[in-house]
Structure 1
């Protein structure tokens, strides 16, 4: 600012001097181009400074690059907004618009506003694809109906419903998930540049990396998906026989024996560590989203419902909570932010606590010391639970450390 003030004052002070006036004007013309550029760069740097708090959605990043041709300031502001609430963009198509069976918390207002911001691109590109999209919708609808039979409903939430069904050619059991398009607030760009639901993108990524492993990987496999214009249909593997962890626990009474809980937790920790290695944050690991295959002597863990999941970077910090409110990590209450690793470890503690105790877990009740860990559990099991449910996130063990915990060895 001082330089700019001096530059403006100098020609005014030498206004009536002959040769000095001409030299001053010449100096001013030469100096201006050199000084304006650094000033602009300095402003951009100030805008970009805080924008390191969260991961960036590919779709938003692509549009930000295009918007830079208009004004640098607007582009940086868009990027800053994306960083501050990037997890809203990545929460995928299974955002819930209110209370539902899964008891998930969302910020629909923010999601809609962000979606509107993402539509700043010229609408002509979308209009050119209307006829093609209509044709594609008709084709995809015929393909879906020709390949699959949909049966009874398995569940319903704030953003869609899941039905049982089977593949016609071999009667392979499937789960068919319907997601209304108006509930898909969060998207990323696929390889062709088309905007895609984050849930679909993550399931496609997992299916691609585990090709030929249907029935083998812990996350259930995405077999196929269809864009039917007003809704997305995801055709997923449906393990049979299987029940969710809550129902599995009920078969043993009100709690699981410790040895059964250990078998399940060991598989679960390994599964979420593998997701973390693939830069995927599920964000809502809980009993209802854990299937237990019961067709063999050893129960087998399968993970479902990636509706609130997102892609994650190593140091990503999230400022909008997605997941089950009762299981919110303590740092959200105390710092209004959370990270992938510590949050997932907290969820491991919640899952184990509910498996071994005849009550539902609530973070607020736990913080108020209204929930306690059973003393009749083994010392190692108690230590595992206490480690996962450590209040300070930086003091919780990592998933890798949990894998090496004596209780799971």
Structure 2
């Protein structure tokens, strides 16, 4: 009995000296990084599931998907490094993709982003149900008219003003880059695809064109320079034209029709850009006296 009492404390002391938790739970500084922590692609795949393709543009491809934790619908955009045209340095001195920097201020939720050796992966909110404006107009062709176009354009102008207030120049507003969100019942407009967007100042002018070239403003073709506000207004007008006429618009073809072009825009070929009548996004909300082309 005395031997048992003598041994029992020793057994207790032995278990106290080597508790199981201490043996298996090493301090963080002694742990090796897991493959998932080192590999952004594995981190992405652990959190999200990529499904079928939604579309492909000049700056990358977009896929449907969902978040594993709650099955939230998402859009996954893959942007190859060669199509990351703009870079931005944040307040901490980090160099970011221009699209990541812009979307962080734009009215669209960027849920995650992953920098891989050869591409950038963006994880974006995806309202459901929703279609791009081009598909929406085609599906509603029999009922789509000036009333519906006016409703959409008004929302677009407000979205453009919001971007302008945040000093964001979208650069590529077109029917394919406008999402019609039907989740609330009434059509809600969202601008998407900020792949060529950048931050801008009021009087900034650009000499390299990014976006859809056939939608470039007249001053680009005549002087190879353009600025944010007039270009945005020009592209909004193109969206309205394509919605109402159900055909593609080309800036160059319009400029060939000199008489109509000069009467509507007040621009003469070869004239300085300062001689052009420029309209800002807020002015788009005022009543226009320009004639509407016959359908």
Distance 1:136 1:280 in 2: 35
Q: Hey, what does 1:172 align to over in structure 2?
A: 72
Match of 1:404 in 2: 286
1:222 and 1:371 mapped to 2: Cα distance?
A: 45
2:57 pairs, out of 157, 177, 183, with: 157
Deviations 1:110-152 (A, max 9, x none): xxxxxxxxxxxxxxxxxxxxxxxx9897343332112111000
Q: Shift in Å at residue 153 of structure 1?
A: 0.9
The structure with the largest helix share of the pair is 1
Mapped partners of 1:345, 1:266: distance in 2: 12
* CA distance 1:259–1:284, shift in 2 (3 Å): same
Which segment is superposed worse, 359-368 or 155-164?
155-164
State the SS of the aligned residue for 1:205: coil
Q: In structure 1, how many angstroms separate the alpha carbons of the residues matched to 2:204 and 2:37?
A: 36
Alignment of 1:174-213 (within 5 A): 174-206=74-106
1:159 is displaced (CA, Å) by: 3.9
Task: Give 1:372 shift.
Answer: 7.6
Q: How many residues align?
A: 249
After TM superposition, the score normalised by the length of structure 1 is 0.56
2:156 aligned partner: 268
Alignment-derived partner of residue 366 in structure 1: 254
Distance 1:148 1:138, change over 3 A: same
Q: Work out whether residues 220 and 238 of structure 1, in 8 Å CA contact, stay in contact via their aligned partners in 2.
A: no
Which of the residues 40, 58, 72 maps onto 1:140? 40
For residues 67-108 of structure 1, give each alpha carbon's deviation from its aligned partner in whole angstroms, at most 9, with x where no partner exists.
xxxxxxxxxxxxxxxxxxxxxxxxxxxxxxxxxxxxxxxxxx
- Give structure 2 stretches of 5+ with no counterpart: 1-33, 290-295
| Cα displacement (A) at 1:256 | 3.0
Q: Distance in 2 between matches of 1:136 and 1:145?
A: 9
Cα contact 1:161–1:178 (8 A) shared by 2: yes
Q: Distance in 2 between matches of 1:398 and 1:182?
A: 33
Alignment partners' CA distance in 2, 1:303 and 1:220: 8
Q: In the alignment, which residue of structure 2 is the partner of 1:340?
A: 228
Q: Does 1:331 align with 2:219?
A: yes
**Equivalent residue for 1:301?**
189
Which of residues 178, 198, 207 is equivalent to 1:290?
178
SS at match of 1:349: helix
The Cα shift of 1:158 comes to: 4.1
- Equivalent residues of 2:86, 2:198 under 8 A apart: no
Which structure ranks higher in relative contact order (CA pairs < 8 Å, sequence separation ≥ 6)? Answer: 1
Three-state SS of the structure 2 residue aligned to 1:236 is: strand
Secondary structure class of the residue paired with 1:141? helix
Structure in which a larger fraction of residues adopt strand: 2
Distance in 1 (CA, whole Å) between partners of 2:259 and 2:37 is: 51
SS of residue in 1 equivalent to 2:236: helix
Is contact 1:141–1:228 with CA below 8 Å preserved after alignment?
A: yes
Mapped partners of 2:254, 2:210: distance in 1: 20
The answer to whether the 8 Å contact 2:86/2:196 transfers is no
Q: Report the secondary structure of 2:93's partner residue.
A: coil
Contact 1:173-1:239 at 8 Å conserved across structures:
yes
Structure 1 residue 180 displacement after superposition: 2.0
CA RMSD of superposed structures (Å): 2.6
Secondary structure, counterpart of 2:61 in structure 1: strand
Contact persistence 1:254–1:357 (CA under 8 A): no
